[in-house]
Structure 1
Amino acid sequence: MAGTSCVKCPLRNRSLFTPFTDEELEFMQSFKTGEMTVEPGTTLLLEGSNSPQLLTVLNGMGVRYTAMQNGRRQVINFLFPGDFIGLQAGIFGEMKHSVEATTAMTLCVFRRDDLWRLFRQNPARGYDLTWIAAVEEHFLGETISSLGQRDAIQRIAWAFVRIFERLKASGMATAGRVPLPFRQQDLADALGLSLVHTNKTLKVLRLTGLARWSDGELEIGRMAELAEIAMIELEKPQQRPLM
């Protein structure tokens, strides 16, 4: 099999992810069919398509989005290393949203037809997949709460805290910064804000020293205060399964 073996996966030792048992590691090695590397802007999965592949982000970042009838797109959320992609097509037969690479990405590839083999032969891994789906549902609920109950600065503070803590637990923090290569428009879409309002709010956060997002990097100046603005408890991200 081409690419990185599951035994040598660089994500396995990150604190964000639950450890594999020897049995799970052996199964995932047989489940994985290869890797693919894509350039920024590549469409990985297309809304309405019937993709034969399931993917895990090994490195790089991307966005999930849905296309509107007026030609615009709505960013749903962001993709980070360790995220599992394509489950919708595995269950519904087609994708209900699209996935695009924001940066160059490397992804582990699995055959969608093997999904049921995973549930049959390794129920623990099947439970992990269910857990991932449940977390996605929880995050969607938290996002809707933000759209309905948080103002602009609270929404952006919430997003920055969640993203920073996720990437830090993934081993991606360097000198108090994490990579965040998305556009302001992507963040505005995901948080239900206009680009102008987003830009003004980011300026306030920068001038007050709370957070700075520039040149593709996010730096948090005062995390506890930012979490208080976001109306969330500052806590370590829960460990999650790695597919």
Structure 2
Amino acid sequence: MRIVDHQTRNHLITLFDSRNIHFICVEIDDIPSYAKELIESIKNTSWIDKLDVIGKLAYTETTLETIDKLISIFSYSEEDPISANFGEYLISMTAGSSLEELLSHEILPLSELWKEKISGNPGFDFHTITPQKHISFGEAKYSAIRNTYKAAIEQIVSFINQKKGNRDLPHLRIIADKEAVDNYMNGYKCYCAAFSLKNVRSFDAIIESIISLVEFEKIIHDGNEVFIIGIKICRP
């Protein structure tokens, strides 16, 4: 994983309120090696050990079942590195790693590791916690043939309208920092749209396209900070 570009823009909401918007471009090559790294990351269940007794009982079985499924998908990806299933997980986990490396976010376990469904989780794909202790709700979209920024942004808006963040809260109060959950209850939260990118050279043009989207304006007004991450997956 290599961070190619990072641009920060300030969007004025009112004379007394503004939002930081981060545009991040990432490139990934050597997919088989990277898949092995992701498998090791998924297999790390140390976060469960930090939970209380109820948390351990609630998440151990779901997590172990999901780990087995994800390892199967990621192992298969070494021969088919841009398959649809692997692609979306790759976007989610790379986005989290990028925010950790670049902006010192704390990465929470991948959503499918703690939600009830073994696959196809019913809400946001990934979560991080910012240094300001704000929960960032992330959505990942992948396509082998097109840029998927509009789909990711539209999905976030849909989730905002459906109050999906509230539905994640019973889980987040167990696995996330209490201060971050308290901040969410007081209206402080962030959003991250992560998407597959066909060409890193088109990233500046994509930024301008994103800024012009009506849906993007909705995200800016609902979140305290917004992270847009384009990820180019290089073919072997």
> One fold, TM greater than 0.5?
no
Larger Rg: 1
Q: Which has the higher helix share?
A: 2
Q: TM-score, normalised by structure 2?
A: 0.31
